[in-house]
Amino acid sequence: MSIRSVYRGIPVYLAVPLALLASAIVALALALVGAYTLNFLLGKLLQNQDALGYAITAFFFVAPAIALLVFVFCFSVVVSWHRAASWRAPTFAFALGAILVWVWARDFGGIGFAWYVPGTIAWLLSCWWLHRKASTHLENVIEA
Sign of CA dihedral 25, 132, 82, 101: positive
| Structural domain count, the chain | 1
Q: What is the mean pLDDT of residues 120-128?
A: 84
Q: Among the listed ranges 20-29, 39-48, 68-77, 115-124, which one has the minimum average pLDDT value?
A: 39-48
Range of the domain at 134: 3-140
pLDDT at position 137 is 57
